[in-house]
Amino acid sequence: MGLVISEGNVMHTGDAGKYNITVGFNQDNIMVISKDMSKEEARKKGIRDAITFGPALIVNGEPVSVKGASSGLNPRTAIGQRADGAVLMLVIDGRQASSLGATYSDLISIMLEYKAINAINMDGGSSSLMYYHGDYLNSGVVLTGSRTMPTAFIVR
Provide mean pLDDT across the span 22-27: 94
Least reliable range by pLDDT among 25-29, 103-107, 141-145: 141-145
- CA distance linking residue 63 with residue 38, whole number of Å: 24
Across the chain, what does the average pLDDT equal? 85
Q: Which residue has the higher pLDDT, 107 or 14?
A: 107
Q: What angle do CA 23, 71, 31 make, to 5 degrees?
A: 10
Q: Which residue has the higher pLDDT, 61 or 124?
A: 61
Q: What pLDDT was estimated at residue 97?
A: 74
pLDDT band at 19 (very low <50, low <70, confident <90, very high): low
How far lies 105's CA from each of 69, 82, 140, in Å?
8, 18, 21
Residue-wise burial string across 104-143, b where 16 or more C-beta atoms lie within 10 A, e elsewhere = bebbbebbbeeebbbbbbbbbbbbbbeeeeeeeebebbee
Q: What residue segments make up the domains of the chain, in order of their start?
A: 1-53, 54-141
pTM for the model stands at 0.86
Answer yes or no: is pLDDT of 25 > 80.
yes
The answer to whether the beta carbons of residues 78 and 120 sit under 8 Å apart is: yes
Provide mean pLDDT across the span 142-155: 67
Q: Which residue has the higher pLDDT, 134 or 115?
A: 115
Question: Diameter of the chain by CA atoms?
Answer: 47
Q: What angle do CA 142, 146, 147 make, to 5 degrees?
A: 100
Residue-wise burial string across 59-93, b where 16 or more C-beta atoms lie within 10 A, e elsewhere = beeebbebeeebeebbbbbbbbbbeeeeebebbbb
